[in-house]
Structure 1
């Protein structure tokens, strides 16, 4: 028994004859006859009988069709679902983003997309760029917003913007009185830093190392908001992305570091292979919007 045979039964009942069913389905009349004969042989029953000029189901045929037609209905529903999936009208988008750009720029765009495509399921998480990249490689996420990952032949990275970083000081700190603050000024103060695997920390380490300046770190914290709280309490200073300290938190002062360009390139990360239609549409719309907003 296959779906073509069930579709044949449905059309015979709707049209009233083998001939009209054949015309509707674009088959030769012999093909319709063959479908019914094969199914009757398989089931060991007679499906149709003639009533006047119409073909009607036998008692056995009625029992069979009552129980079998739901298979055809489910198949039609499944075809519609698959058609919508292939066209991108339904689907599941798994998105990960670093918190700074996620909260400030991405969430409004994701909300707009969800309103326009309400049948598309979304999984949305804020995480570190390193974890996002690994989840994309493991096929746990489809699209990520983060920093340039290590070169990998399975990944694509489309740059969007530069995320600058600046110095955050507690009010009353001696460095707030200086007109220009340089890396040398930071060599003997306590810096609150993220953990060593973090992209922000790597950027800071790189600048200090290339300048030959020792880096003093009293406390390592893996959460930017907690670092800000420690700065507000006067525990130390920190170098943080501008998006994370805008507006300037209470009890702090934000300063640029002279002769030093702290910053990381942010972009969209994805696997090289084709995404499903809904994810591909989201990727293209997101990339265009984010790119245009930073031109």
Structure 2
């Protein structure tokens, strides 16, 4: 028994004759007749009887069809599912986004994607760029939004936007009274920094090293919100992404550092291979959206 034979029965019942069924299916009438003959021989029953000009199921054929049509319905449903999967209308996307800028810039776009493609299942997490990159390498994530990974990891990175960084000071700090600050103003300041492997920390180290200024850091914290709390308490100052300090936290002042371009390029990270269609759809929509607007919140 084959699905095409069941489809033939369905069309005969709908159209009322072998001839009209053949026309609808684009078959020769002899092909339709052959389908029915083969199935009748396999089952050992007579499927159809002719009443007037229309073909009707026999008693045995009616019993057969009452059960067999469920197979056809399941097959049709399965075909629709596979069509949706192949075209990216259905599937499973595993996505990671850096936690600082993700909440303000990318999450609204992901929400809009989920509303449009309701049959796509999403596994979504906020984390550091380093963790996201490693999870892509370990096949735990399909797509990541973060900073450019090391070139020796053989990952694709498509730039989207720049994430600027600025200085955050306690509101009563002497430097808070100055409108323009440079790295030289921070040479004797206690900086509260992220851990040494963090992309933000690497950018800060690079800028200070290029300017020949040593960093005075007595405190390292691996959580941006905790860093802000320490700044609010007057323990020291910090250089953080704008996304993490907008709006400006209470009891703090934000200042741009002159003659220094603090910032990290954010982009989409993926493996250098074909993605599942649903993941490929989200990847392409993110790129299209940013290239179309060519703007960012900042």
* TM category, shorter: 0.7 to 0.9
CA contact (8 A) 2:161 2:267 kept: yes
Question: Quick one: distance in 1 between partners of 2:107 and 2:54?
Answer: 62
Aligned to 1:293: 295
Moved more, 71-80 or 81-90: 81-90
Question: Quick one: distance in 2 between partners of 1:286 and 1:26?
Answer: 42
Question: Quick one: distance in 2 between partners of 1:153 and 1:60?
Answer: 65
Aligned to 1:273: 273
Q: CA deviation at 1:27?
A: 1.8
Aligned to 2:82: 82
Q: Deviations over 1:55-90 (max 9, x none)?
A: 433333222211111110111122223333444444
Question: Quick one: distance in 2 between partners of 1:25 and 1:196?
Answer: 67
* Superposed CA RMSD: 2.9
CA contact (8 A) 1:47 1:60 kept: yes
Aligned to 1:21: 21
Q: Give me the TM-score of the superposition, normalised by structure 2.
A: 0.84
Question: Quick one: distance in 1 between partners of 2:22 and 2:279?
Answer: 41
SS in 1 for 2:164: strand
Q: CA deviation at 1:54?
A: 4.0
Q: Give me the TM-score of the superposition, normalised by structure 1.
A: 0.85
Moved more, 175-184 or 192-201: 175-184
Within-5 A mapping of 1:126-205: 126-151=126-151, 154-177=154-177, 181-205=181-205
Question: Quick one: distance in 2 between partners of 1:26 and 1:288?
Answer: 41
Q: CA deviation at 1:117?
A: 4.0
Question: Quick one: distance in 1 between partners of 2:228 and 2:3?
Answer: 64
Alignment gaps of 5+ in structure 2? none
Aligned to 1:3: 3
Question: Quick one: distance in 2 between partners of 1:202 and 1:118?
Answer: 39
SS in 2 for 1:166: strand
Q: Deviations over 1:247-286 (max 9, x none)?
A: 2211112233343322111122233434455544443343
Aligned to 1:34: 34
CA contact (8 A) 1:12 1:18 kept: yes
Question: Quick one: distance in 2 between partners of 1:88 and 1:4?
Answer: 27
Note closer, same or farther for the CA distance 1:93–1:34 as it changes in structure 2 (3 Å cut): same
SS in 1 for 2:95: strand
Aligned to 1:253: 253
CA contact (8 A) 2:179 2:255 kept: no
Aligned to 2:235: 235
Q: Deviations over 1:215-250 (max 9, x none)?
A: 333332221111101110122221111221122211
Question: Quick one: distance in 2 between partners of 1:193 and 1:37?
Answer: 80
2:106 aligned with 1:103: no
CA contact (8 A) 1:40 1:46 kept: yes
CA contact (8 A) 1:137 1:154 kept: no
Question: Quick one: distance in 2 between partners of 1:26 and 1:289?
Answer: 43
Q: Deviations over 1:25-58 (max 9, x none)?
A: 2222332232223323333433334445544333
Question: Quick one: distance in 1 between partners of 2:222 and 2:175?
Answer: 25
Note closer, same or farther for the CA distance 1:256–1:3 as it changes in structure 2 (3 Å cut): same
Within-5 A mapping of 1:63-82: 63-82=63-82
Question: Quick one: distance in 2 between partners of 1:138 and 1:64?
Answer: 50
User: What is the aligned residue count?
Assistant: 295
Question: Quick one: distance in 1 between partners of 2:163 and 2:260?
Answer: 14
